[in-house]
Structure 1
Amino acid sequence: MTLIQTSTGRPRAFSEVVEKLGERGGEKLCLGEVVEAFGDRAFGPVMFFFALINMMPWPPGGTTLTGAPLLLLSMELAWGRDALWIPRWTERTAVKRATFRRLSARFRRGLRLTERLSRPRMHFLTGPFGQGLIGLACVFLSVVLVLPIWGANLLPAVAVGFFSLGVMQRDGLAVIIGWLLTGATVAVLFLAWRLIVASFTHGTEWIGRIV
């Protein structure tokens, strides 16, 4: 029996499964263990799992590794797959269980509150077509995470988290929040690019005047 059910057969909430994963023995928590724990509900939870990991304050380039599995999962979601498939080598992707416990404890209260507030609604946003669009958005967000941009991981990771929650709970409101955060990510990247271009132009003009 996977961790998604209690001994009485009652489905566990996502926060309960996360807590049980942290309590298990072993120094490291592998992706394969997460997939096994959630069983056929794995798509949304595994994406949410990686969204949480990518919210951590990684050094520059750190999310290149942690964002790569999200990119693969997002492509599968955009392709319209019903069941999660991951290559065997990615099953060994792991984080220290103690780190996972600290991170999950930090978000546990928020997760439980979100679970109480979320419910199935606006089904057209989480249907097959809606999930395809979510997958495309998450592909873009995952690419942003993979790029070695310092400090650029939080906003796209939170957006993926809301999209994942929407897929898990069939909650269209969470999906809408994900889309709003995706738009905010695009705006921030655009402004950052404009700033870089303006700084480069100003620098070359300044050098030109000196020369």
Structure 2
Amino acid sequence: MMAGSEARGYASSVLHRIAADISHRDRVSFGELLHHLGQSGFGLALIALALPAMIPIPGPFGMATGSCLVLIAFQMLLGWQRLALPRFLAERHLATDGVRAVIMRALPWVKRFEAMVRQGRWRSLTGRSSHVLVGIPVLLLAVVLALPIPFGNVGPVVSLLVIGLSLVSRDGLALMVGLVLTLATFIWTGVLIVAGAHILAYLGSFFT
């Protein structure tokens, strides 16, 4: 069991190790990245897959990571204990330079969020059944993240980071914060969609 500052730095240390381990390669597969995540698969996977949306990098990150997030959400809903990817995603390769760039640019943000979590706080809220319940908001966040909404990525990314870190550290209070952020994200997304529809209607009136 991790404790204290070690627990709060676990996610960033794993991501840093991944960046170092793949530095000598040209390409890396999703399956290999999943293997590097180790035993804290679901929480770390949410963190790792949210990062490319926070820091856009040219390449097929969006579609691939979005697909993985949806699969993770379904596996959580089904109560799976180990994370798995189908072969067509596990064997999909990404440029190592892009993966490392995402990790290194996102690490400062991950460390800031890690400073807010505490190992085992309200631990009863992060038991096995919590993965099933959390699967629903994770699935909805993955859908929101895939929508082409300007300024619409920040909310889902922050929510996924907080939820992921809460699962890694078994911090029930952080999990509750992540779910509140998720609700705020859905409200904000609705506002953006309605505002965008009004803007399009207003602009369309000039051409009718």
Q: TM-score range by the shorter chain?
A: 0.7 to 0.9
- Contact persistence 2:55–2:106 (CA under 8 A): no
Tell me, yes or no, if structure 1 residue 126 matches structure 2 residue 126. yes
C-alpha distance 63-38 of structure 1, shift in aligned 2 (>3 A): closer
Question: Which sections of structure 1, spanning at least 5 residues, go unmatched?
Answer: 1-9
- Three-state SS of the structure 1 residue aligned to 2:39 is helix
In the TM superposition, residue 155 of structure 1 has moved relative to its aligned partner by 1.7
* Whole-Å separation in 1 of the counterparts to 2:115 and 2:30: 26
How much does 1:182 deviate?
1.1
CA gap of 1:202–1:35, structure 2 versus 1, over 3 A, is closer
Q: Which amino acid aligns with 1:127?
A: G
The answer on whether the counterparts of 2:16 and 2:103 sit within 8 Å (CA) in structure 1 is: yes
- Alignment match, 1:17: 14
Look up the match of 1:152: 152
Whole-angstrom CA distance in 2 between matches of 1:111 and 1:162:
9
Identity value in percent: 25
Cα shift readout 1:29-54 (whole Å, capped 9, x = no counterpart): 32211221233322221221101122
Residue 137 of structure 1 deviates from its aligned partner by 0.2
In the TM superposition, what is the alpha-carbon distance from 1:163 to its structure 2 partner?
Answer: 0.9
Asked which structure has the greater RCO (Cα within 8 Å, sep 6+), the reply is 2
Please give the root-mean-square deviation of Cα atoms over the aligned residues, in Å.
2.8
Whose radius of gyration is greater, 1 or 2?
A: 1
Q: Deviations over 1:1-57 (max 9, x none)?
A: xxxxxxxxx999332221221122211232211221233322221221101122123
- For residues 67 and 41 of structure 1, the distance between their equivalents in structure 2, rounded to whole angstroms, comes to 20
Q: How many pairs were matched up?
A: 198
| Kept in 2: contact 1:67–1:142 (CA 8 A) | yes
CA contact (8 A) 1:35 1:42 kept: yes
Q: Is the Cα–Cα contact under 8 Å of residues 64 and 148 in structure 1 kept in the other structure?
A: no
Structure 1 pair 29–188 and aligned structure 2 pair: CA distance change class (3 A)? same
The 5-angstrom pairing of residues 93-108 of structure 1 reads 93-108=92-107
CA 171–203 in structure 1, closer or farther in 2 if over 3 Å, else same:
same
Gapped runs of 5+ residues in structure 2? Answer: 1-5
1:119-145 Cα offsets, whole Å, 9 max, x none, are 111123312332222110000000112
Contact 2:121 2:173 in 1 (8 A): yes
TM (norm. structure 2) is 0.80
Q: Is the 8 A contact 1:166 1:175 kept in 2?
A: yes
Kindly provide the CA deviation profile for residues 77-101 of structure 1, in whole angstroms up to 9, marking residues without a partner as x. Answer: 1221111121011112343222332
Distance 1:112 1:191, change over 3 A: closer
Distance 2:63 2:50 in 1: 13
